[in-house]
Amino acid sequence: MLTSQWHTAAMSPRQRSTLALDSASLYYRSFYALPEKMTAPDGRPHNAVRGFLSTITRLVDTHHPTALVACWDADWRPAWRVDLVPTYKSHRVAEEGEGSGGEAEPESLGPQAEAIADLLDAMGLPRWGVAEYEADDVIGSVVTQGAGNSIVVTGDRDLVQLIDDRTRVLLTVNGGMEKWPLLDSDAARERFGVDPAAYVDLAVLRGDPSDGLPGVAGIGAKTAAALVLAFGSIDGILDAARSASATRPMTPRLAASLLENEDAIRRARLVTSVVRDLNLPGLVPDLPDAPRDPRVLSALAAQWGVQRQVDELLAALRRQTVDE
């Protein structure tokens, strides 16, 4: 469910809490959830812009954060990750972008993503990206280095690895926002079968076709979870594979496959692990009580036909700053 007993019980009016948004995940979701026949005055689709702004409004009104940061992909497919695993996100590369590393996306989405960036900037909501890193790494660094509690809003299950006593993950899956699960450690363990800190090991062993990570042949989700539960981590699993006395769920056939793929497994683990120590601008600033640039914001809202959505978000932000 979208509401959270953890949030309600743990938060005092002055306690800091941050919403860390996987921005691309949210605007892609809005683009596909709303019809392209929703258009700006000039006839361009504005479904992603409209949905993105409305989603943030609902998130702010539901979770009452003191801060919000829109985490951005400065590089959606960093070279250092591709060097480790050449297939990393390779299926997402647009044919026309092979030379430049461009990502395939619907033609009308690119301009909308730029409009979302401009609207956030004019509102005074921080939009952070770091060269050569993905939004996931910015999110990991925000929640690790920041003060107070955090809720990560994403459709990427890999970010389950960030869950701890200060951080929850709101997974944007399974229909409307009211169905999005808000995961703490217990809920993540129930859903995926392993502790959040071990989710990376699970993902590496079973593979992730959406990211181009092949996994280990013969190991599916159940076997991967059983190995992690039995031996604790990739290191423990590989040590068990080398041990003649290893017991089930390790079998001779599994042990041979794991050891044959040890180098690939370790490289995939580096790729899947979120970076947490990026050099960020500082603590995420408190929610603004007024737009940074009202004239630019008004012009953008009129150009894209989203004045109502902008007004609703500004009102939600003001409600939080008044409550503080």
pTM: 0.91
Intrachain domains 5-193 and 197-272 with the same fold: no
pLDDT at 93 over 90: no
Determine the Cα–Cα distance for residues 217 and 234; give it in Å rounded to an integer: 16
What integer pLDDT is reported at residue 103 of this predicted model? Answer: 65
Q: Put residue 232 in one of left, alpha, beta given phi > 0 → left and psi -120 to 50 → alpha.
A: left
Report helix, strand or coil for 39: strand
Q: Which residues contact 306 (CB under 8 A, 6 or more apart)?
A: 40, 46, 49, 50, 53, 119
Bond into 249 cis (ω within 30): yes
pLDDT at 176: 87
5-193 under CATH 3.40.50.1010, yes or no: yes
Please provide the CATH number assigned to the domain covering 197-272: 1.10.150.20
Amino acid letter, residue 153: V
Mean pLDDT of the chain: 91
80 in Cβ contact with 137 (< 8 Å): no
Is the pLDDT assigned to residue 7 strictly greater than 50?
A: no
What phi, psi does 167 have (nearest 5°)?
A: -130, 130
Q: What is the pLDDT of residue 322?
A: 76
Question: In the chain, what percentage of residues exceed pLDDT 70?
Answer: 91
| Cα distance between residue 228 and residue 23, in whole Å | 31
pLDDT band at 277 (very low <50, low <70, confident <90, very high): very high
Q: What is the pLDDT of residue 66?
A: 97
How do residues 118-176 score in pLDDT, each as one tens digit? 999 999 999 999 999 999 999 999 999 999 999 999 999 999 999 999 999 999 988 88
CA distance 300 to 114: 11
The answer on pLDDT for 6 being more than 60 is no
Tokens matching residue 147: 């003060």
Residue-range domain boundaries for the chain = 5-193, 197-272
What are the residues facing 169 on neighbouring strands?
152, 183
pLDDT of residue 323: 61
